Amino acid sequence: MDGKASKATRNDVARLAHVSTAVVSYVFNNGPRRVSPRTEAKVREAADKLNYKPNPIARALRTGNSKTLGAVINDLTNPFNAGVYEELELKASEQGYSTLFATTHGRPDKERTVIQQLIDRNVEALFVSPCEKVDMLPKTSGDCRFIVFDVDRELPDSWTISADYRKAMVLGVEHLLGHGHVNICLIIGQSYNGISDGRVEGWYEAHRNHGLPVGHIEGTSFSRTGGYLATLRILDSPNRPTAIFAGSDLIAMGALRALHERGIKVPEEMALISFDGTIDSQYMYPQLTVLEQNPKALAHLALKAATDPDAKPGLQLMESKLVIRQSCGCK
């Protein structure tokens, strides 16, 4: 004998709790049949005494459900991404799901690889914040749902969830126009996913609505460094604006540093507003006026798309809220 104690089985738990093995399965699989609270307590107490641990691989083979989700993130340092995926993992775990995370570091080749790896691990749904052209992404099987963030158009056989960027941009530009700014610059990350960005569409629409020439668009990366370098270029241009609309809070962080270094007062000499509205926007100086997205609500919609058997593929757009603080000149 090797002296190793054998692992407790489902049969052992059933005998100790005086229930059937099916009831043990119902307790640890959250169904399909309901178990009374008293019976569930008996089963869990027996499992604790025996140190019983359900085998997730065996369960997946038995039920065809892995109770595992996959998340492919293009930038782990982005506080907005962190807010979405933290809430997503928390709510998924409450429903008995495990979530596997992979980051692409903005590399399309790695994005394709990790998506395929997660599909091969039999995840039930994939959440993707794409850096690749969406038409180039690996195709999921019929058993794996594909939920795409930040894409504001419908994709075949997929669930797409995004802020209504066009509408939010119009709202933000009109707020700056209300302060008397007619020379506004948009700093935005250059799109790599092959989709016309709603922020740019809203930018053009807002200027047309007021009969104004379209303000300059300065392309950069969606990063602090990108915002910093883009702002320096803008400040050195011959037609310096009086207001900046940052495409994300990360860009706004870099923009603020550049403005502070050049001794330009915000908002007295340069107004600044931003997309996202992460917690970081409240701790910048001055506090940022933002078009605030709701990462928790976005996560809840995404999880419903992943787990609700009645959910149908399609596009869901979420409205952004204008949160007025100091950087625009209101306070």
Report how far Cα 236 is from the mean position of its chain's Cα atoms: 34
Q: Where in the chain is the domain with CATH 1.10.260.40?
A: 10-54
- Cα separation of 331 and 101, whole Å? 41
Averaged pLDDT for residues 281-306: 94
Per-residue pLDDT of 28-83, as tens digits, reads 877 678 889 999 999 999 989 888 877 655 555 455 567 899 999 988 888 898 89
pLDDT tens digit sequence for 202-227: 999 999 999 999 999 999 988 999 99
138-141 contacts at long range (C-beta below 8 A, 24 or more positions apart) = 138/112
Fold of 165-293: Rossmann fold (3.40.50)
CATH topology of domain 10-54: 434 Repressor (Amino-terminal Domain) (1.10.260)
Supply the pLDDT for residue 60.
Answer: 53
The model's pTM is 0.78
Phi, psi dihedrals of residue 40, rounded to the nearest 5°: -60, -40
Task: Evaluate if residue 229 carries a pLDDT over 60.
Answer: yes
Residue with tokens 């757009």: 317
**Of 136-145, 182-191, 240-249, 278-287, the least confident:** 136-145
- Tokens of residue 128, six digits: 């993707």
The SS3 of residue 290 is strand
The CATH number of domain 68-163+295-318, selected from 3.40.50.2300, 3.40.50.920, 3.40.50.1220, 3.30.460.10? 3.40.50.2300
Query: Where are the CATH 3.40.50.2300 domain residues in the chain?
Result: 68-163+295-318, 165-293
Instruction: Map residue 200 onto helix, strand or coil.
Output: helix
